[in-house]
Structure 1
Amino acid sequence: MAVPVSVEHFDAARLQPGLDDAFAQVAGRFKRREVRLRARSCVQGMLSGLERKNGWTLAEYAGERTPDGMQRLFNAAVWDEHGVRDDIRTYVLGHLGDPGGVLIGDDTGFVKAGTRSAGVQRQYTGTAGKITNCQIGVYLAYASPRGRALIDRDLYLPRESWIADADRCAAAKIGPEVGFRTKPQLLQAMIERALAAGVPFAWVTADEAYGDNGPLRRFLEDERLGYVMAVSRDHQISTAAGKVRADVMATRVPRTGWQRLSCGAGSKGERWYDWALVATAASTHRLLIRRSISRPSELAFYLASSPRPAALRELVRVAGTRWAVEECFQAGKNEAALDHYQVRLYRAWYRYSTIAMLALAFLAVTRAGQFPPGGPPDGPATGGEAITAAPPAATHGDHVIALSANEIRRLFALLTRPSIDHAHVQHWSAWRLRHQTRARRCHYQRRRLRDH
C-alpha cells in the first residue's frame, strides 16, 4: 500500500513553484505579457481564500484598481482557451497518465438568476436536484491510480430557447456556426479529441443519461473502446427471447449468480455491493447489475462492452470509477471556483471554466505528488482489481490520511496570500459603492420609464 507523507513532512514551500510549473504549461497561449500575468493572477485568485471569486474580487485580489482588465481576460483579450485546454490535458497526463486510465463523462449545472447567460434556461440539473434556471456544462474527466482531473468541457445550448433564437445567440456572441448538439454528442466530441491527442486510457464510463444513448455506445464500439455505461432500469436489453427490461433481467439472476465486491474506496472506506454479470444476445455486450447489501431492492444497471475479455472484477472497478467525476465537480466548485463565475458570453464561459480547470489540475497533481507510483490508498480503485471479500465490521487503519484537495488549497491560500494594503482595500470599497449607486439609479430610471 502506498503511504502518503505526513502533513509535517509535506513540502508546502513547493506549492507556489508548483503552480508556477503548472502555469508554465499554458503560458505560451497568452501572447501579450499583460494578459499572461493577469491570467496567472486569476489562477492564483481562484485558489485563494476569497469567499467568492468573480471578476471584481479576482481583480481586487490581484492588486488591480478596477475589474475591467479581469473582465477583458474572459470577454475580449486575445488568447487561445482551447489551446490552454489542450495544455491542461498534457499537464494532467504527464503526472496522472496511465494505460489503464478511465475517461468519465458527466454534466453539472450552474444555477443562474437571469436569462442572458449563454445556454441558460429552466432545465433539470442534479446539482439542484430539480428543474431550475441554470446552465449545463458537459465535462470529461480522467482517472487513474494516481488521481483524477477534468480535461475537457463544453457548454450545452438548448435547441429551442437558444440555437433557434438567432437574436439571443447574437447577444451572447454565439456564432452561426455553432449548431445544436445533445449532451451525448458533446461527450462524443470530447472523447474524439482525447483519442486524437493520444490520451492513454482503457475504458469509458458515464451515467445513464449517456449510457442510454445508442449512438454514443455504437461510436465507442466502432472505435473499439471498452465501456461500462450506466443505463436506466427500464432500458431494453436484447436477449435470445427478445427485448427485456434491465430490472426484469435482475429478477432472473439466481442466488449463486451474485458476488460481493468492492468497487473502490470512498470517504468512509470500501464501497461494497453485490454484483451480477448477465449475458445478452450480443456476445460483446453484458449487463452488469449492482445490488445494495443493506437494501437489496436498490439496484443499478450498466451495459458493459470490451474488445477484449474482461472479468467481473475489472468491470466492477470501472463502474466504481465513475464517482471520480463527481469528486472532480465537488473539488472544482469548492476549491477552484468552477461555479463562481458571473460571465454571460459564450466564449467567456469556456475561458473561465478552462482557467478553473487549470487550478483544479494543479490541486490534483500536487495531491498525487504525495505518493510513490501506485496511487493514494484512500482514492477510488482505478487501478488493479476490485476487492473480493466480506466487508469488515470495522477498519482501524493507522496510515496517515493523505492531504485532500481542500487542505492543499487551504495551505496554498494561507502561504501565498498577499499582504494587506489598507489604501487598496479602501479604494475597492469606495469603487463598489460608486458602482452600486450608479446601478441603483439606472434601475430606478428603468422602472419609472416602464411605469409611465
Structure 2
Amino acid sequence: MIRRSWMSGASIETTLELWASSLREVKARIRPLFTQERVAASAGLFLDGLLGAERRKTGWMRAEAAGDPGPWRQQAILGRGRWEADALRDTVRDYVVEHFAAEDAVLVIDETGFLKQGKASCGVGRQYTGSAGKITNCQIGVFASYVSRHGHAFIDRALYLPKRWTDDPARMAAAHVPAGTSFATKPAMALGMIERAIGGGVPFGWVAADSVYGVGDIGMALRRAGKGYVLGVSATSSFNSWIGKPEVAGAAEDIAKGLDPAAWQRLSAGPGTKGERLHDWAYLELADLEADEFSPGAKGLWTRGLLIRRHIADGEMAYFTTWCPAGTPIEMLVAVEGHRWAIEDSFETAKNELGLTHNETRSWYGWHRHVSLVMLAFAMLAVICHHANQPTPQKTQKQLRALRTSSGGRFRKSAA
C-alpha cells in the first residue's frame, strides 16, 4: 500500500513494524471519539479498508476486506453512527503536528472537486473544478495541509455549499446540513481554517494559496497574527509602492511587462517528479511597515511585496501578494510558494490510493466523516514514511569502543 518511492532506504521489516505500530496508535487515538466499542471497531475496519489494496474504496469493497456480509456496518459509520467528524479532524491535526511540527512550516490552502451524478449529494452542482479542468457536476472541498521539512498531511477540510443550496432550506434539511449554516465563500472558509489552526496552537510561519484565496480578509488576519504569506492574485490586481521603495503602480500584469530583464532570476520552487521546478521570478518590495501597526505589542519591520512567476517555455505569468519579515530573500518566498505542490500531491494520493472521492453518502455528515477518515489514513502513511526515511543513527565512538572490547573478549574466550 505504501508507495515505495516515498521511502528512500527503509527495509521491508522496518516498514512492516512501523505500519503495525502506527495502525495500533491511530486506532487508539480515535477510540475515545466513539461511545460504543462496536462502533469504534467498525471505524477501525473502515480505516483498514481505506488502507487496503483495493483501488475502489466503496462500501462493498471495504466490507469484503473486513469480512462483513454486506456494507451496512461500513455505511453506518458515515450515516447512522453518532460521533463528531470535527473531533476526528482535530485528532488528525494534533497527530500531524506532533510528528511534523516546525515553526517555519507552511499552511497550504487549496480546493479539489468530487465528481458526482445526480442532484442529491450535499453541495453538488454544476461548478468549476480544477480536478476536471471545466464546469461539471461536482462537490467542492476546501482543504488545509500542514507542510514542513518533516512531511506534509491534511489538517482541515470543509464542504463548500453554493448559494443555490444555502438559499433552499428544504434541500439543506434533506442533506442534514446543520441548522444555521449559511453561505460562505471559499476565502471565508479558508480563513476559518487558519483561525482554527492558530487557536489549536499549530506552529507555522507562512500561508500559501492560489488566486482564489488572495482576496478578502485573509491577508489582514495573517498580518494581525504575525504570519507571513504568499497568496495568489489575478493579473488585474492593483499594486502601489510607498515612499522609500522603487516607484510601482498599476495592475500586476502591466508591472510585470515593464520590468527590466535584469529583474528576473531563474529559481527552483523545489523538487518535483521530473526534477527541479524551475521558473523565472521577480520580486518587488512595495512597503515596509512596523509589526505593531497590525498586531499590538509585536516588534519588527515587515515588508509587503509583489512576487511574479514566469513560465520558462511559454512565458505565462502568475502573481502573488506577499507579506514577510523585512530582509526576507526572494528564494524564501519562492520556496514558500513551491510548498503548494505538496497539497496537489496529497490530493492525487488520497484520491488514487485512499478513496477520497469514493464517498457514497449524500449527507453533510457523511461527507465530513468520510473525508476525515481519509485524512487520518493519509496522515498515518505520511508519518510512517517520515520515520522510515530517517537515516540510521551512527554509532558513537564510545559505543564502538565498547563493541570492540566486548567482541575482543569473546574472541579471546573462544581461542582459549
1:68–1:6 Cα change, 3 Å: closer
> How do 1:338-417 and structure 2 match up within 5 A?
338-372=356-390
1:205 aligned residue: 208
- Report 1 or 2 for greater relative contact order, CA contacts < 8 Å, sequence distance ≥ 6: 1
Distance, in Å, in 2 between the alignment partners of 1:176 and 1:85 is 20
1:194 aligned residue: 197
Give the secondary structure class of the aligned counterpart of 2:217: helix
Provide, for residues 368-402 of structure 1, a one-character-per-residue CA deviation record: whole Å limited to 9, x for no partner. Answer: 112338xxxxxxxxxxxxxxxxxxxxxxxxxxxxx
Q: TM-score, normalised by structure 1?
A: 0.78
Report how far residue 225 of structure 1 moved: 1.4
2:168 aligned residue: 165
Give the secondary structure class of the aligned counterpart of 1:26: helix
1:33 aligned residue: 37
- Answer whether contact 1:238 1:282 (CA < 8 A) is retained: no
Distance, in Å, in 2 between the alignment partners of 1:303 and 1:47 is 39
Q: Matched residue pairs, number?
A: 369
Identity, % of aligned positions: 40
Provide, for residues 58-94 of structure 1, a one-character-per-residue CA deviation record: whole Å limited to 9, x for no partner. Answer: 1222112222222111012111211111111111111
1:217 aligned residue: 219
301-310 or 150-159: bigger deviation: 301-310
- Answer whether contact 2:107 2:206 (CA < 8 A) is retained: yes
2:284 aligned residue: 278
1:294 aligned residue: 313
- The answer to whether residue 165 in structure 2 is matched with residue 146 in structure 1 is no
Letter in 2 for 1:89: R
- The answer to whether residue 9 in structure 2 is matched with residue 5 in structure 1 is yes
Report how far residue 147 of structure 1 moved: 1.1
1:113 aligned residue: 117
Distance, in Å, in 2 between the alignment partners of 1:37 and 1:287 is 52
Letter in 2 for 1:57: M
Provide, for residues 213-249 of structure 1, a one-character-per-residue CA deviation record: whole Å limited to 9, x for no partner. Answer: 1322222222221101111222222246785111111
Letter in 1 for 2:176: K
Report how far residue 132 of structure 1 moved: 0.4
- Answer whether contact 2:269 2:278 (CA < 8 A) is retained: yes
Distance, in Å, in 1 between the alignment partners of 2:71 and 2:311 is 51
Distance, in Å, in 1 between the alignment partners of 2:219 and 2:327 is 18
Task: Pick the aligned partner of 1:184 from 187, 192, 195.
Answer: 187
2:409 aligned residue: none
272-281 or 297-306: bigger deviation: 272-281
Gaps of 5+ in 2: 1-6, 290-302, 392-416
- The answer to whether residue 51 in structure 2 is matched with residue 47 in structure 1 is yes
Task: Pick the aligned partner of 2:18 from 14, 17, 32.
Answer: 14
Report how far residue 10 of structure 1 moved: 4.3
Provide, for residues 104-161 of structure 1, a one-character-per-residue CA deviation record: whole Å limited to 9, x for no partner. Answer: 00010000001001000100000010000000000000000111100100000011x1
Task: Pick the aligned partner of 1:267 from 270, 273, 283.
Answer: 273
Q: TM-score, normalised by structure 2?
A: 0.85
Report how far residue 13 of structure 1 moved: 3.7
Provide, for residues 28-51 of structure 1, a one-character-per-residue CA deviation record: whole Å limited to 9, x for no partner. Answer: 111210000000000110111123
Gaps of 5+ in 1: 374-452
Report how far residue 16 of structure 1 moved: 2.4
- The answer to whether residue 138 in structure 2 is matched with residue 134 in structure 1 is yes
55-64 or 227-236: bigger deviation: 55-64
Distance, in Å, in 2 between the alignment partners of 1:242 and 1:268 is 36
> How do 1:245-256 and structure 2 match up within 5 A?
245-256=251-262
Structure 1 outlier segments of 4+, above 4 Å? 6-10, 240-243
Give the secondary structure class of the aligned counterpart of 2:212: helix
- The answer to whether residue 235 in structure 2 is matched with residue 233 in structure 1 is yes
